[in-house]
Amino acid sequence: MSHGSKRWWGLGLIALAQFMVIMDTSIIGVALPQMQDDLGFSPENLSWVFNAYVVAFGGLLLLGGRLSDLFGARRVFTAGWLILLTGSAAAGLADTVAVELAARATQGVGAALIAPSALTLLMMLFGAQPRELTTALALYGAAAPAGGTAGVFLGGVITEYLSWPWVFYINIPIALIVVLATPALMPAGGARRGSLDVAGALTVTAGLAAAVYAVVRAPEVGWNSIQTWLTLAGAAAALVAFVAIQAARREPLMRLSIFRTPNLAAANVAQLLLGAAWIPMWFYLNLYLQQVLGYNAFPSGAALLPMTILIMVGMVTLAPRAINRFGPKPMVVAGLAVLAAGLGWLALVRPDGSYVVDVLPASLVAALGMSLAFIPSLGTAISSAPPEEGGLASGIVNTSYQVGSALGLAAMTAVAASYGADRLGDLPALTDGYSAAFTGAGVIAAVGAVIAASSLRTRATGRQAVTEPENAQVG
């Protein structure tokens, strides 16, 4: 196998990793009612099948990035797959609520090692070729929405024709293939000497997990309840402690001065707001199709296919060309603005609406916005860091997107519920609730466009050549 083709096979493995990590968040959606019956989940606890994975994943990403810088990305990538495999087997075999949630959290731990090391490996394979790097990032980026849709789709098929444990067992053969193929396809990447900041890892994980937990729980226990405020205060205290530890340590988990790197913070804010706008839209579009238009699981997965195909085509063909032509900043701003417009259009959904009028055109506009903004903001966030901190930069940008997704979804759930999304069977009330969630997500995207316009810089030097149009022409 030539070096060139080996690189693209390696990219295939990395894209598969991203696909799986995202698919594991969405594949369980359709299976939840059956799991509830079999394992005896209460309605309140059921959302934790989703959240246990996301909280562990989001909370440990920074640690995953640092481990990948210290021990080598390939080792951490492999270890992550082995942990994901173990968690998946346990999640399928679980016979109690507690075991199921622990297994989902274990899957999240595996994903938190896989995601940043996969991005670091991608930079190692393609970082020296700006032209190829944009294509590689595009294929990597397209794997996420593909995983999201495949999850909804596969979840429907598996739940219908097999049984819910198979939504977890499906990971096992894939994990085995990846673990066996990794040594042949991935660059070794030497380990570096350095200490592991355990206190930093514990405080940031506790802080992020508590923040997500508080916002996710708030719609149930009330935003004004003591529990919500105490948990948020605990989260803030843990994150303040984290920053203090990082400032004091010689080898911190996250060097705070990394945020002084031009564009790094701005690109991460763009990713955070992109996740906070996109994931609630995805979630409530699914609910609108199922609860209001009366689609069952499989057709509602199919209804999201045009959007997914547009995102993948947009990321792989449109975005790289547009970045070369206009540079990354205008693309991030335009993408967020177009996403906001699509969400505004979706907010016009009607109780007696139809897929062709109420969903399809607006969802395609939103998908176009997502496909334009995602790659340039991701590429800028990673390429603005020095190469030896690739794992850390990957961990930070993954964290931004995941935490944005979790907080955005939790906040929009609260908004939707206050406008009637909890009144099942009452179509006008449901539609008002979902419409409010789309409006809120649209506001988030619009704010993102304004922040990106004012904070991203256009000129950059050195390693940021990757996202600069003039330099990208050479190659």
Q: How crowded is the C-beta side of 114, counted as CA atoms within 13 Å?
A: 30
349: nearest Cα among 292, 304, 307: 292
Cα torsion for 102, 104, 109, 114, to the nearest 10°?
Answer: 160
- Residue-wise pLDDT for 289-336, tens only, equals 777 777 766 677 777 778 888 887 887 788 777 877 888 888 889 989
pLDDT tens per residue across span 115-162: 888 878 887 787 777 677 777 777 777 777 677 777 777 777 777 777
Whether the CB-CB separation of 369 and 336 falls below 8 Å is answered with yes
How many whole angstroms separate alpha carbon 84 and alpha carbon 92? 12
Tokens of 128: 């020296």
Q: Where are the beta strands (DSSP E) in 381-449?
A: none
465 pLDDT tier (thresholds 50, 70, 90): very low
Q: Does 258-475 match 1-188 at the fold level? A: yes
What is the residue extent of each domain of the chain?
1-188, 197-252, 258-475
b/e per residue, 367-376, with b = 16+ CB within 10 A?
A: bbbbbbbbbb
Average pLDDT over all residues of the chain: 78
Cα–Cα distances (Å) from 32 to 35, 109, 210, 416, 465, in that order, read: 5, 21, 24, 21, 46
DSSP for 139-157, written as a single string? HHHHHHHHHHHHHHHHHHH
User: Which fold, 1-188?
Assistant: Growth Hormone; Chain: A; (1.20.1250)
How far is 212 from 42, CA to CA, in rounded Å?
Answer: 20
CA–CA gap between residue 432 and residue 419 (Å, rounded): 6
What tokens appear for 306 in the block?
């045009």
pLDDT class of 189 with cuts at 50, 70, 90: low
| pTM of this structure | 0.76
402: closest CA among 9, 50, 90? 50
Give CATH for domain 258-475. Answer: 1.20.1250.20
